[in-house]
Structure formats: structure tokens, C-alpha cells
Structure 1
Amino acid sequence: MKNNYLIVNESTDPVYNLALEEYLLLHFTEGRIVMLWQNDNAIIIGRHQNLPEEIDQDYTREQGIKVVRRTTGGGAVYHDLGNLNYSFIADYEPGGSMQEFADAAVEALRSLGVRAEFGGKNDILIDGKKISGTAQRICGNRMLYHGCLLFDSDLSRLDRSLRVRPEKYSSRAVKSVRSRVGNLKDYLSEDMGLLQLKECLVKAFLQDGKYQILHTKDLVKNKQQEIQKLKHEKYDSWEWNYGASMKYTAHNCKRFDGGTVEAYMDIRGGKIEKCRICGDFMALRPVEEIADGLVGTRYRYEDVLEVLKHFPLFDYFGTIGGHEVASVICL
């Protein structure tokens, strides 16, 4: 029988925690893993987002808010010690989904007496307010699904840190974006603190005997050198977090039901010389594979669409189709 682990990670360093998560994804190749963890003040930006356009860098510098890029798609999120993060790692089955993990998170919350439901593009909602966003990725034959529960987060810092972009919301909606997000604490009894919430979630996962609990110090005690190497060389590097945010000659952007798609390109001789695609779409695979595949293509809708046909676009853009993506690249 494969070992399934429930890991309680005591670290609050966002750079280390993302490195640990990736290490578990890469090296624990059997069974299932659930990890509960918290980050100190940080913006965790989506894999394919253009960082300068997603966050207020002056504010994050002033407030000492760490900015770290994750490996999953979706939008930027604000983390602090009022949040509780969760990660699920399991075998990837082509054509399958991680809905069972989304359901597990929702059921754990319902066991606390709140009317949680999975809705929107990738959210967990209570009374229409988002209390958790989720994202996922494929890595070999494994899949990662993770999310962040807003328990008692500083929503004013969330508002100040993240830029609201006009193509995502109308002018009226910009003013009400704050009302779309809620704290789980507001829906629980007054004596339920974050520690109690974590304990309830641990019990919910352990009660059927499918998981055994492990602390990170026991699980990775001989692997710290590898995790620290991944932390410093990737998640704590300028190249990973900021280096991809470059200026390009052409810039097109469109909003679809499945998210925002944005393209930056250098065009020379009527062909795409450089291409970068970013946005908050739900990518399972690195969208750089498509961007690289477009290099050398004539800057024409039909040619771009023909290249896109060679990729399983759902894995890169979720529900956003080839015609929509091509319309962004060739406006």
C-alpha cells in the first residue's frame, strides 16, 4: 500500500515553502501528500503573470512584503499569517481532474458549519465571497493542486499590494473588488482561531485512516541541502521572480471567461522574433512551450492559429481556445 502523508509545515518563509512544495512534487513519486502551511507577508504571483503589471512594487518594498513567483498558473495572491495554505500532490491521470481534492477542502470547511462551495474559475466561496483561490500543475506523472484559505487576512494590504486591471473589471467593479473577498473568520464561531481551524482540518483528513501525519523536520531531515539549493537558486532569485518581466515591441491583452491572456512580442521582418505570454489563465503546463513554438512564425492570425493546433491548448490555457489565443497574439 502506498504511503499517504499529511504534512504540517511549521515554516513561514514563503521562499522556503515554495521550494519545499516543489521538492515534494519532484521527489515523492508515490502515494498522496497533503501539506498545511503558512507564509509571512508575501505576494505569490502566478507562473505566467507579468509582475510589474500585477503588483504595486513601491508599496511591497515599503512594507517589506516578499514577492515570489510560483510554478502554477492563475492570479497573484496576498499571503500573511492570517492565511492557511494547503497543497495536495497525487498521481496525474490524463483526462482526470483534481476535483476530489477541491471537494475534500470544501467538505472539511463544511464540517466546521460553513456553507462553502466550489465556484467561479478556481475559487472556494461562502455566500458568494471568495475565501480561497486554487491552482494546479502537472509534473511528469504527478499533479499539484494548492490553495490559500483567507482566515483573518489583512484585506487592506491585499487591496494595496495587488493592482486591479481595467480589462478585468469595469470602473464600477473596480470599486467593489474588495467586497468580492471575505475572511473565513467572519463565518465561524468567535472561539475558532486559526490554530483551531488547522487542528480541525488535520482531524478531517486523519479520521478515515488514509493519511499518516508527518512533520517536515522528520520527512525531509536528510534533504535540507537539496531544498535550500532549490530555494536559493530558483525561488529567491531575481531571474525567476523578476527577470522574465521584460519590455517588448508589441503588447496585446484580452479578457475571457477563463482568464486574462496577454502577449508581448518582438516582430522583425514580419515574423515573431521573441514572444512572452502571461496572464491568470489556469495553466497545467508551462506556456513558454507555446511561446517558444511561435518564434519564427509569420505575424499573421492564420499562421499563429496553425501553430497553436499542434498543442493540447486546454493544458496551457484551460477553457480559452485557440481562436481566442490567436486573437491576442495577432490583434
Structure 2
Amino acid sequence: MSAMRIAVAGTSGLARIIARQIHESTSHQLLILSRSPPADLVAQGYQCQIVDYYDSSSIRHSLMGVDTIISTVTGNEQIRLIEGAVASGVRRFAPAEFEGLPRLRPQGDPLDRGRAAALALLQVHYSAWIHSTVFVCGILYERFAVGGMRTHCIGVNTGYGNEGDYILDARNMTATVPGYDSEGNLSSLCMTSARDVGKFVVRALDLPSWPKEMSMCGERMTVSTLINTVQACRGRTFNAPVWQNPQGLQYELTLAQMAGEISTQWRLATLIATAEGRYDYGAPGYLNTQFPDITPVTFQAWFQQNWAAVPRA
């Protein structure tokens, strides 16, 4: 496909990974949209455009000549960006999803962060004017990183971006394990490293058409296997891990709601989503099949490298 003008909205860690892949491995013209000037990116030679998401003229000016938008912004800012993209004649839009299948999210999901409203605009209200897709990557490996996702500037505002916020604390070897679904079956999840997400997303830019969803998968495993993998990598066993099903987690969530513990509610909501299979869509993913030359890093290899410098005891 001929060179296009691609806009990446946001400067989070995932946005930077995608932008770097576009910059280094394609001939597409890259534009980074940001609410404030990212001095480091400007210094590296990236074309950055300051945008006011609440000023329609600012958005339209920023999107002049843009063919495709990859969004990593959520909430009202993304809604305004979608409206501006339609008004500016942008051809394709990928909203800030990058998790499990949207259709598995329940109505009123506390983890939604305005994403359902964005999808409704793209897939229903504006579907005749703009093409869209959802990039489905499951759980990012970076949730299990030293320091958590926040050290990679990912998920800073989600409420569960710190080390140990999701399933397990690999430093202190404690865990709350959403190991079973409501029928007692072992729960599974799909996971992908942020770097591999960037590779797949950028290769998808050249596909002649976009389906409504494009999944990718670094590795699919049961939550039990995840626990065993981390134990093997750390050379330690978890200290009395608490195994839970959706009913037990829902009870804990109710207690957190009664106590007004917002951060605990968010963390428990992600565990409930895991136990219910919302991050399990099978492997290989659609993009794995489309681009078999991309070999994603396995979770064990990624985890060993990420935690190599951290003492085991």
C-alpha cells in the first residue's frame, strides 16, 4: 500500500511503541497528537501536533490530510477525536481498546472508561463515513513488569497499573488467583507484550481492508499455568495464594464497594473479568495468521528478562 499519513493520538508508552514502529519500519508519514508538547519526541525528530480535544477547529486542523488514526486516549477526548475525524474525512480509526473482546464486556462495566460510547459512534452512528477496527491483544505482559505497567507509562490512569495490582505480586510472592470460572473450569487468558502489539498494529496498517476486530496473541495459557511459570522463573513458591471464582471475587467487590475502596474495586473488577474469560479469545489471533513472520515473545522469556536483575529472595 502507498504511503499514508498516520496519526497516533496520545503519548503513553503504548502510543510511543506504535509510533516508533511506524517511524522505523514503514514509509508512512507519522503525526503524534498530544495535549502538551512532548519535548523528548520533538528532539528525536518526530512530528508532533498539539491538539485541544475540546476545540473542534483545533482537531480538524490537526487532522488535515490524515488517513488513519490509532488512538490511545479515552473518555470524552476520544469522543471528540472521533467526531473530528469524521468531519475531517479520516478514512480509518482504531480506538483505544487493546484488551479483550469488547463484546464480552457487560453493560455498565466499571472498567469501560468510555470505550463503549466510542465504539457505538464508530460501529453504528458513523459507520457509513469511517472504517474502524478494534485491536484485541488480551492482557499486556507489562502488567507483570517490575514496577508494573506504570514504569512503561501504560495504564497510568486505570487504577491497576502498579506492580502487584493484577493477579500476583512477583516481588513478595503473593497472589489472588482468578483460577476458575463460575462452572469450576480452569480460567484462561491471552497475553501479548506491548512491543509485539506495536509490531502487529503497524503491519495491519497496510491491510487493504479492516475487519471489525483484529486479534493478536503472544501466548494463551490458563491462570494456573501463569502462576506456575512465575514460580519457576522466580525460583520461589507463592505464599498461600488465594484461589477464587467469580462468585468469591464478586463478594470481595461488594465489600470494597461498601467500604468505598475505589482502587480495590478496580483491581477486583479485572480479576472478575479474567475469571469470566473476557481476555480469552483463543490463539493464534487473526493477525498472527495474517503475519506468520512475526514471532511474538513468550511470556516466560519476557518475564525472565524483565525480572533478571531482581533478587529472588
Tell whether the structures are fold-level matches, with TM greater than 0.5: no
